[in-house]
Amino acid sequence: MSVHQCDFVSLAAPGVRTLKPYQPGKPESELRREYGLSQIVKLASNESPLGPSPMAVAALQNQIQGLARYPDGNGHDLKAALASFHGVRPSTITLGNGSNDVLELVGRAFLTPDHESVFSEHAFAVYPLVTMATGAVARVATANPVSHKMPYGHDLAAIAASIGGRTRVVFIANPNNPTGTWLAGDVLRSFLDNVPDHVLVVIDEAYFEYVNDTGYPNTVSWVEQVPNLIVTRTFSKIYGLAGLRIGYAVSHPDVADLLNRVRQPFNVNSLAQAAAEAALQDTAHIRRCLEANRTGLHRLRVAMDLLDLRYLPSQGNFLCVDMGRQGSDVYAALLEKGIIVRPVDNYGLPQFLRITVGTEWENERLIEALTEVIKG
Ligand SMILES: *Cc1c(COP(=O)(O)O)cnc(C)c1O
């Protein structure tokens, strides 16, 4: 058989040809290999510096006995726990291998090459990926101007204006990653009340638990009245279980039924199900994480003020900071000092870096290193 050049790209599904893969934060192990550094601080992926609840870890250890068995494909116990936690019916919940998996289920269930999704500029990178993989068209709405009180944040009027007859899905991150900006309940609700019936609105609330703003809504409580609303949450952020991959959606049961049709039968493994169920019960751990995040975020803001660096308003566990120069240069200089943060030029914010709130010690290392880079 002859070896010949095969143009696999031309064989790929049309939407996949132009896809650029998601760029994750640089793993610690990679920096260790490349630079031979021993001490590394990773503040690049909005992971919880306090880790999961000890109750979740105990549940994991217990669950290890059962690894020969397939997980419960219906996630009965976790759905029951989530339903009771949120005061909703279990039939409204769809479990995902991370909430990214749920976003993909939405794309697979509702988008085709004849349809469009709408999301904002500077929004979470998974929305274009999910859209393009289905061959659907991504309509990107202009974000708020820099002069807005939520600079670079979602502009609901622009999003509404981008909705057309072919639009099936709108993705809204609240708060948004990487900006940290958020939307208040009143404007979000009036947006939803005016969205045409043929459009599903996904509100991605990965950072819900961190928000400390009286105007911020609990949209899960709206699902009963707004049938085209899909709210997604995750155990990857404040619950500290990013490595296990577990998230979920709350929606109208008919929407959940459609999401479940395209879901792989065992998308959420048994360890993740057990750990998430236990993590949900440990409200004291979540309070500690929240407290630590507030303190850490405040510390970072004070440090940025001293360095004369501007940052975007944030209600998450991260700060998006304007370096006043090419962000990737500062990123590279920090890497050499063993600090990993996140460049966001692929989000259209080339001067910014996104910094996750770490432990007190990690925050101080970041501040020290950044001060050297900025002043030196
Ligand atoms: C981190 C993040 C998620 C979470 O993804 P998982 O798949 O649940 O780990 C979802 N949406 C946004 C906006 C995020 O920043």
**Whole-angstrom distance, CA of residue 123 vs CA of residue 102:** 17
DSSP state of 214: T
Confidence of residue 6 (pLDDT cuts 50, 70, 90): confident
In the prediction, which pLDDT does 229 show? 98
Confidence of residue 4 (pLDDT cuts 50, 70, 90): low
**Whole-angstrom distance, CA of residue 179 vs CA of residue 172:** 13
How far does the centroid of ligand 1 lie from the alpha carbon of residue 60, in Å? 22
pLDDT(5) > 90:
no
**Whole-angstrom distance, CA of residue 177 vs CA of residue 174:** 8
Q: Are 103 and 155 in contact (CB under 8 A)?
A: no
Q: Are 118 and 141 in contact (CB under 8 A)?
A: yes
**Whole-angstrom distance, CA of residue 208 vs CA of residue 270:** 25
Q: What is the mean pLDDT of the chain?
A: 96
> Ligand 1 pocket check: which of 205, 237, 248 to mutate, most ligand atoms within 8 Å of Cβ?
237
Q: Which atom of ligand 1 lies nearest, measured to the CA of 176?
A: 13
In the prediction, which pLDDT does 279 show? 98
First to last CA, the chain: 60
pLDDT(1) > 60:
no
In the prediction, which pLDDT does 350 show? 98
pLDDT(3) > 70:
no
How far does the centroid of ligand 1 lie from the alpha carbon of residue 150, in Å? 21
**Whole-angstrom distance, CA of residue 180 vs CA of residue 375:** 26
How far does the centroid of ligand 1 lie from the alpha carbon of residue 139, in Å? 21
DSSP 3-state of 266: coil
Q: Give the residue among 219, 124, 127, 140 at the shortest CA–CA distance from 179.
A: 124
Instruction: Render 34-77 in DSSP notation, one character per residue.
Output: HH--S--EE-SS---TT-S-HHHHHHHHHHGGGTTSPP-TT-HH
Q: Are 270 and 67 in contact (CB under 8 A)?
A: yes
Q: What distances in angstroms separate CA 291 from CA 239, 241, 279, one per listed residue?
A: 14, 18, 17
**In the predicted model, what is the mean pLDDT of residues 68-82?**
98
pLDDT(226) > 80:
yes
Confidence of residue 36 (pLDDT cuts 50, 70, 90): confident
**Whole-angstrom distance, CA of residue 240 vs CA of residue 243:** 8
**In the predicted model, what is the mean pLDDT of residues 20-29?**
86
Q: Give the residue among 221, 227, 228, 220 at the shortest CA–CA distance from 248.
A: 220
Q: Give the residue among 105, 104, 95 at the shortest CA–CA distance from 273.
A: 95
Confidence of residue 288 (pLDDT cuts 50, 70, 90): very high
How far does the centroid of ligand 1 lie from the alpha carbon of residue 235, in Å? 9
**In the predicted model, what is the mean pLDDT of residues 211-231?**
97
Pocket lined around ligand 1, Cβ cut-off 6 Å: 46, 98-100, 124, 173, 177, 204, 206, 234, 236-237, 242, 247
Q: State the greatest distance between any 2 C-alpha atoms of the chain, in Å, as a whole number.
A: 68
DSSP state of 146: T
**pLDDT 10s digits, 143-189:** 999 999 999 999 999 999 999 999 999 999 999 999 999 999 999 99
DSSP 3-state of 248: strand
**pLDDT 10s digits, 61-71:** 999 999 999 99
Q: Which residue lies with its CA nearest to atom 2 of ligand 1?
A: 206
